[in-house]
Amino acid sequence: MAILLFRLKHVPDDEAAALRALLDEHGVDYYETPESRWGISVPALWLREERQTQTANELIRTYQEERQRSARAAYEQAKAEGSAETLLRRARRHPFQFLAYLAVVLFILYFSTRPFLHLGK
């Protein structure tokens, strides 16, 4: 019976490729299901054999911990250099998009709180 190993929805292509290469390198027998056009099926990596579950999970856990450490180090380095992405930098780079999002947020906030503001009247 197939065992769901790793969901690929919202996973960057480089991470998915690295996971495939890692599983291939360690001889894990898996297959992949793609996402359907309408998003009904689950894009994922599946194990063919249950006996490889522990090995595959350990490989993926180790890979994700290493990826997290390297991403955190890259962020800390960018932060130290002053080149990290901030809200202010993003607003300066895309001012119209920022103002549009702000308008939508304020619109929703106004109509969400309006009934409570006029409750006593």
Full pLDDT tens readout for the chain, 121 residues: 789 999 999 999 999 999 999 999 999 999 999 988 887 888 999 999 999 999 999 999 999 999 999 999 999 999 999 888 899 999 999 999 999 999 999 999 999 998 888 777 6
CB crowding 47-67: b at 16 or more within 10 Å, else e: beeeebeeebeebbeebeeee
Give dist(CA 87, CA 52) in Å, integer. 44
pLDDT tens digits along 79-90 = 999 888 899 999
Phi-psi region of 19 (alpha: psi -120 to 50; beta: other; left: phi over 0): alpha
Given a contact cutoff of 8 angstroms between Cβ atoms, the answer to whether 19 and 35 are in contact is: no
